[in-house]
Amino acid sequence: MTTPFPFQAAAVLTASQLNAITTLATSTKTASHTLTIADVGTRVIMNSASATTITVNTSIFGASDVVEIANIGAGVCTVTAGTCTVGTTGTLALAQNASGKLVFISASAAIFISGGFGLTSSGATVATTQTTTSTSYTDLATSGPAVTLTTGTTAYVIVTTYSYNATSGTATYMSFAVSGATTIAAGDATAVSLLGMKTGGQEWSNSAVYPVTLTAGSNTFTAKYKTSSGTGTFGNRSIIVIAA
């Protein structure tokens, strides 16, 4: 239903327009868009498989004007400061199903409040028990597990495995590498590790969660493994990624 915003002087509103006052007008974009005065008080929905931008310029909006922005496409949509200053405590890069609200504090400055549709997540597991003697991070015979997500600039990665080493005093490590829009090597700072050997038929399980700063886009998270020495054994390996 067409809404009456923005109101015009001396305009006569119909009953249907009055009934629609509480309905937020929307417009769908399939390519990068520069906001105009017609966008004030509306929701701009981006729907593109490729990366896009929504650009904000000065002297178009006034203090207290609001524009909602939502991204339903697979490509990351980034709210971009053109000639207008745009501040946020969150992210300006909206992954698929992310949204936020652009609140203007003056004609030349706005605050982007991210939120709306929420987080995206994915997980994978490799149950097979396999070994490595590598003292640097590597794949096992069955690589992974790995997950691919379209992310913003932040994600939380949970890695879990049971592991042991047949040599006393040695350690096993499971970390993860990131590829795609972001390149991050596996490392001890993002590893779940266990010091000790298998005793009495027991296998030790461990889990950890790490925040990761990313370049927005399609990112793949792949588990990697190493041992301090001897032979490290790993089983029931899983990785879960929660992207903001």
- At residue 20, the pLDDT reads 56
pLDDT at 3 over 70: no
Give the burial string for 44-55 (b: 16+ CB within 10 Å, else e).
bbbbbeebbbbb
Q: 0.85 exceeded by the pTM?
A: no
pLDDT digits (tens, 9 = 90+) for 206-229: 788 888 988 878 899 999 999 998
Please calculate the CA angle 232-239-133 and round it to the nearest 5 degrees.
15
d(CA 116, CA 227): 43
pLDDT digits (tens, 9 = 90+) for 86-139: 988 777 888 888 888 898 988 899 988 876 545 577 899 999 999 999 999 999
Residue 5 banded pLDDT, cuts 50, 70, 90: low
Query: Tokens 């490595």 belong to which residue?
Result: 132
Q: Which residues touch 198 (CB under 8 Å, ≥6 apart)?
A: 164, 165, 166, 204, 233
What is the pLDDT of the chain when averaged over all its residues? 84
Q: What is the secondary structure of 14-38 as a DSSP string?
A: -HHHHHTTTSPPEEEESS-EE--GG
- At residue 10, the pLDDT reads 66
Q: What is the secondary structure of 64-133 as a DSSP string?
A: T-EEEEEE-SSS-EEEEESSSEEE-SS-SEE-TTEEEEEEEEETTEEEEEE-SS--EEEEEEE---EEE-
Residue 64 banded pLDDT, cuts 50, 70, 90: confident
Residue 201 banded pLDDT, cuts 50, 70, 90: very low
pLDDT at 72 over 80: yes
Q: What is the DSSP letter of 182?
A: S
- At residue 8, the pLDDT reads 63
- At residue 13, the pLDDT reads 64
pLDDT digits (tens, 9 = 90+) for 128-142: 999 999 999 999 999
pLDDT digits (tens, 9 = 90+) for 10-56: 666 666 655 555 567 889 999 999 999 999 988 999 999 999 999 99
- At residue 82, the pLDDT reads 92
Q: Give the containing element (helix H, strand E) for 151.
A: strand 146-151
The full set of domains in the chain, from first to last, is 15-114 (2.60.120), 120-243 (2.60.120.760)
